[in-house]
Structure 1
């Protein structure tokens, strides 16, 4: 976020630190009463408007844990610490908020902490999740990297979880193919987990986006990884499981994709490999679609974003933009970013109108976020003004 946070955004920042990620009770309370009121009640030790039901004692215990954690949480401190790291907070209703996350209902993230130069909503408009085993074989790593690279060359964003094995191969393949990649983490943005992927996370931040539900300083937990998987599945219209054993966490992501009615795909492997057992179960019992290369995946998801040009570029020609969008695009610099307020003044628009146009231009591939605001994308054809 840029500028002063709204009461809702500040409250949601605090709730990411006070409540467990994806808690349906907290999601229900926010939906019913608003984040600002729920946070104020926790901060002041007031009684929460818990829903009636036979789970009252368990709900009360969770509310008590939230109150205990709320002590000492300060929105300004959370937001300033993230900003010093180059991070930002995105909440529902922001131009950068991916609308697909709203499919999660009461399990929708309270807010997202992001670090990276790419607009998350734009990146996920044409995206696919690639997941699989951490203990991947050479076959799995080769297939994952090839799939991701081929999809990136077709202007698809690859979303994965930043783990060793298939995740890491998918992120690297996407970067090699020249497209942004999104890594969804189960810890704070200041924690490189796994530690061996510190350089990879730096590359993702420089050319894509790191995403987490957790504020800085939050360590990863086993439960956190499982909860994180729903975001990987929800950000994209389709999920590919490249290599997974029968007990792999990748099947948890596949289950979320199926529950969200997203396209579920799996790569077959050697029948002698236990690490392909999960993929074969998806093909046999879950009606997953068999895919073997990037062309197969693109064919399954092709109707989404068909108007995009092959390779890099934008969804529309520049001369197809309306007059206000043209003025906003003209006000966005090529290299050094400009803040939203600066662009609004240069374009002669109000702040809200400029925000809306910036979101549309980002979704169309004309501009991107950078540490200092907005700038045109090098491959958008928007230079030379």
Structure 2
């Protein structure tokens, strides 16, 4: 399913709100540490950067403030240490004020620039419109590392997620699916973690494809550390994105909240391996809430690491086993998976009536035409006519008044098994 919308390229959701303000933002009257005025704040850029330091990702209350009051007014209330905004206790408001006091958006932008990172806001040309489906939990903005256009890449993307402590089977399936999607021109999105995430990223890169890593920390601080090389490679060949400003570290709650971005950014989510309490199931549940496709790769019935996937499949997820089946769901009309069927056997080429007579012959002994006719539900004369056809093709031979399968026919037609 493609997110519906009006305008823009296929697959993108457009939410055309009021035009973004131009000119200097709320922080424009504050001089920088060098004594110079801050750069022009187009559309609340500095304000949004400021808020990424203060409001946690996915904070629905903070998102509602931004929607109802605007970025500048929210920043002003936090900077002026005024009365709490609606929906928070004084204790929580005090915590937000403490964060606001330490926030320095100009410094964050300078650090980002030094590390090749840019900040993309809602309404920017590069902003993926489908993230607007998150409503008040929509990111305030995204820190992006990599030269590709995030919006264009997200239009044709699929999420591959799963267990960190995956099995060899899970890692193989994730890499194989990612490589297959990459070869078909799809972008593979995952979380950069150990296990299924890492296998998916490597599979896409190994196939010469594109991949996006959505991190639960600052994009200048790769996590886990053991994936620093992989995330660096993704930044060079793909895109690394995150909601948190430079230097921020991950927490368990940030991992879970990060998953909603993966789900919203893509056309569908595939869970490769997941136990019942796996965090990757949160991605699948978010995808389902957003109306995206939810898919699962089956594993052994005895594997606890596949139990969560199997539960998804028992609900409304779709079972997939290769890239063709994924693309059939998330792709354009006509992108169908090839028809699945076993190998063509010699008897498959026979006329159905002739094949029915052939099936009526026992494997090891000869049979009289009358007995063959009864089993094949036809007349003796018709059975004899069909037996002579089969004899010409080398399937049967005559023994006195009876007919018997040839040795080669037993091997090719019955597979050598005694089924009678």
Q: 2:54 matched to 1:18?
A: yes
Structure 1 position 297 matched with structure 2 position 333:
no
Equivalent residues in 2 for 1:1-385 (5 A)? 4-6=40-42, 8-50=44-86, 56=87, 58-285=88-315, 287-303=316-332
**1:126–1:305 contact (8 Å) kept in structure 2:** no
Q: Distance in 1 between matches of 2:57 and 2:46?
A: 16
Q: Give, in whole Å, the separation in 1 of the partners of 2:293 and 2:311.
A: 16
Aligned 8 A contact 1:42 1:70 in 2: yes
1:131–1:167 contact (8 Å) kept in structure 2: yes
Q: Equivalents in 1 of 2:162, 2:218: separation in Å?
A: 22
Q: How far has the Cα of 1:304 moved from its partner? A: 7.3
Shift of 1:5: 3.8
1:7, distance to aligned residue in structure 2 (A) = 5.2
Cα RMSD, aligned residues only? 1.5
CA deviation after TM superposition for structure 1 residue 62, in Å: 2.6
Aligned-residue offset at 1:44? 1.7
Tell me by how many angstroms 1:97 deviates: 0.5
The 3-state SS of whatever aligns with 2:97 is helix
Distance in 1 (CA, whole Å) between partners of 2:213 and 2:52 is: 19
Within 2, Cα distance between the matches of 1:7 and 1:152?
Answer: 36
- Cα deviation per residue 1:316-344 (whole Å; 9 max; x = unaligned)? xxxxxxxxxxxxxxxxxxxxxxxxxxxxx
Distance 1:131 1:59 in 2: 36
Could you state the TM-score of these two structures normalised by the residue count of structure 1? 0.75
Question: Aligned equivalents of 1:89 and 1:305: distance in 2?
Answer: 37
Q: Specify the alignment match of 1:339 in structure 2.
A: none
Aligned length: 297
Q: CA 1:98/1:305 → structure 2, altered by over 3 Å: closer, same or farther?
A: farther
CA contact (8 A) 1:104 1:234 kept: yes
Aligned-pair distance for 1:60?
Answer: 3.5
In the TM superposition, residue 232 of structure 1 has moved relative to its aligned partner by: 0.5
Q: Distance in 2 between matches of 1:42 and 1:214?
A: 19
The answer for unaligned runs of 5 or more in structure 2 is: 1-38, 336-420
Q: Could you tell me which residue of structure 2 aligns to residue 383 of structure 1?
A: none
Structure 2: how far apart are the matches of 1:59 and 1:213? 24
Asked if the contact 1:134/1:163 (under 8 Å) is kept, the reply is yes
Give, in whole Å, the separation in 1 of the partners of 2:325 and 2:238.
Answer: 24
Q: 3-state SS of the aligned residue for 1:159?
A: strand
Distance 1:207 1:95 in 2: 21
Instruction: Output one character per residue of 1:172-193: Cα deviation in whole Å (capped at 9) or x when no partner.
Output: 1111222221100001122121
Displacement of 1:146? 0.4
- The structural deviation recorded for 1:20 is 1.1
TM-score, scaled to structure 2: 0.69
Larger gyration radius, structure 1 or structure 2 = 2
Question: CA separation of 1:304/1:215 partners in 2, compared to 1, >3 Å: closer, same or farther?
Answer: farther
Q: Deviations over 1:55-81 (max 9, x none)?
A: x5x444332211111113222111011
Q: Secondary structure at the match of 1:150?
A: helix
Q: Specify which structure has the bigger relative contact order, considering alpha-carbon pairs within 8 angstroms and separated by 6 or more residues.
A: 1
Q: Which runs of 4+ in 1 moved over 6 A?
A: none
SS in 2 for 1:232: helix
- Secondary structure in 1 aligned to 2:248? coil
